[in-house]
Amino acid sequence: MTDAPLILASSSPRRKALLEMIGVPPDEILPADIDETPLKGESPRDLALRLAKGKAQKIADERPDAFVLGSDTVVGCGRRILPKAEDEQTARDCLALLSGGAHRVYSGVALATPEGKRLSRLCETRVKLRRLDDAAVEEYIASGEWNGKAGGYGIQGLFAKHVVSIIGSHPNVVGLPVYETWNLLQGAGWRRS
C-alpha cells in the first residue's frame, strides 16, 4: 500500500512537526471536526483514546483510500480532565491546579487503513512541575503560549523551565507519541513511496 496517501486528521502544527521529525510527513492534513466533550464519568485516558479513534474514523469515512492518523492529547489531574485553555482565566486555573504537583498526559493515536483495519494505542507520561508563584504564572500568561493547549501549557516553549521531571515520552506531552505512532504505521504496512 505504498501508493496510499497518509492523512493527518488534525490541524495541530506540533503533530505535523513531530511526524516530519521522524520522516513521516503527511500527504494531506484534513482536520476532523468532532465533539470533544467528555462523557459523564469518562477518565482522561479513555477520552484521549476515544477522540483519537473518532478523528481517524471521521476522515476515513470520507477517504477510505488512505491511511488516516488521528490523535488527541488530554491532561489529567487524578480523574479530572483539564480543558484546552481558550482564555487567560482557564489557563490560570489549570496552572494553579498543576503547580507543585505531578499530573499525567495521555495521548491516543488511532490509524485507519485502506484495508479497513482500525488500530490504536494509548501513551501515558507523568509530568512533575515546580511550585509556580504569581510572577511565573503571569510571565507565562503574557507569553500567550498557553492558548489552545491542553492543561494550559505547552512543554516545548517557555514553560519547559518549570518542569521538574518527566517519566515517559516527551513527544507525547508535546502532542504525539512518536514511538507508538511509528510502530502503528509500520505494523499496518504503511511505507513512504
**Residues carrying an active site annotation:** 72
What Å distances lie between residue 117 and 60, 122, 138, CA to CA? Answer: 11, 17, 47
The owner of cell 512518536 is: 178
Q: Are 17 and 10 in contact (CB under 8 A)?
A: no
d(CA 19, CA 97): 31
* DSSP state for residue 87 in the 8-state scheme: S
Contacting residues for 169 by C-beta, under 8 A, at least 6 apart? 123, 125, 177, 178, 179, 180
Instruction: Find all residues with CB under 8 Å of 179, minimum gap 6, and list them.
Output: 123, 169, 171
Residue pair 24/185 in contact by the 8 Å Cβ criterion: yes
